[in-house]
Structure 1
Amino acid sequence: MFDHRLRDKLLFEDKHFTYIRRYFWAYNTLAVINTGIKAMMAAYVDTFTDDFWAGSHPLLWPHPSPPQAPDAVEYAAKMAVLRRELDKVVSDLGEVLKRNERTRKEIENLRDQLFSGSSIKESRRAIDQGDNIRILTMISMLFLPLTFVTSVFGITEFTIPVTDWRFPLTMVLVCVPFMILLYLIQTRPFIQCLQTLQRATEALALLPTRCIRLFFQFREPDASAQDSRAASTPSSPKTRKRRLMIRRRDGGGGNAISWRRPWAWMRRAAGGEESDLGRV
């Protein structure tokens, strides 16, 4: 409990996978033992029934005397003692089975903790390797502008003297901004600024589309309002009178009457037929 080296040894796996193999062996061994114990308990319950203990079983130790005979009573008393002893052993086997199940559960918990500890250790190792690769990449990127400038000025077609001022000036103007940009890329505020600029650029790109959409949205209600006003405006009396005059001129008075009351001509026709019948 107080030895940190032993705790670390139990928490993390070694290169030989010692604890994994030990937990695997113990877990499966207890499973085999529990299976055998369950089989023995089931065989005892299925074989030694009440008929067996009473001596009336036809195959297993049947007693020839009737149950009320003195020999049968003495036999039943002896078998009762044996039955209590066997029941005690079976109950002990049940306790062993429960204890084995608890042990298997503890082994399973230890195995899970070992897996979690080993995974955490491996993840930390992977993070450390990633940091090392990032450092190596940064160092290699520092030499990238230097290599570019020296390769440009190393062309054999150029005749540049050693004391020429263009080479150091180009080296400074290329390498210093590149190194500053490389440093800023590794910082979080600079990344956030780049993300903000990207979102602003996307918003500006979508601005004309939104303006056109809003323009059409404001224009459609005006057109619908004009249509509704035109539909809801009642016709003037002069317009209504003109329509009636056109209908009388085209189809006679019957059409005008049917325009207001379609059933009036039916009443007139019925009255005319009655008058003709009266005359007859």
Structure 2
Amino acid sequence: MNAALSDAGGPWGLPLWDVAIWGLLCAAAATLWWRKARSASLALLALALAAAFARGLLAPPALAALALLVLAAWLVRPQRPRAARIGGHVVFVLTAFALGLHLLPGFDNPRAIADVRLSADSAPMALYFNFDKPLAGFWLLLCWPLLRLYGDGPRPAAASLGAGLAGAAIAAALCLGLGLALGAVAWAPKWPWFGALWALNNLLLVALTEEAMFRGYLQDSLQRRWQAQRWGAHAAIAVSALAFGLVHAGGGARWVALATLAGLAYGWAYRKGGLAAAVLAHFGLNLVHFTLFTYPQLA
């Protein structure tokens, strides 16, 4: 690879190749929403991964994670024996959480923003171009046919939009209101220079992956299992919200409570409008938090 091109500044003062590869990954995520464009999404994803290997962002040990995801996709196919399908789900869940927690070797996720304080009283934040965590989201949208993308009825996209906006409003009112009461955040309107970068990354890679995992996979699976029970849908929302809260335990009890509360709103949005609504609700809360309140939290 040409060293001059590798070191050239991108639109945010970042290495041009890092921005370009991240852009390919975002484009692959954006095309996942159209089932007829799945071949294009796979091509973009393959191109992004190949470029990341060439750039050195992925090393050979990352192939083990990719192989585990391929194995899981092969095992969960409907024609496999029940034991194989169960094993495939176990492989996927373990691999997905290891990817989400950045535990698997071979991924050198570039840091786009390093230890920036967005307001005088905020804790520092960093922004990474993660190539490991989004793979779980890609797997679910490409390999899990039961995942519900949009709302039901004659206008599914409209149902998703309405549920997503309502879910975002509910989550923002509840979570940021409680965050203010707990002293986790304060009023701090802003739009930093890297706001567009953060927004694209959060919408296409972060919110998509987390909602596909906790709502499209966990909540939907529980709801199907408990569909004969009158309380099944509500219990599925509650369990997936609690699981979502617990993965935020690194931030302490406050963030477990806030994330669980947000998960309830996202779960309601998913039930009403599918994955698109849950992603919109998730991104909506994050956007309000990022632009109007202390981000990520008070120091």
Whose RCO is larger (CA < 8 A, sep 6+)?
A: 2
TM-score by length of 1: 0.17
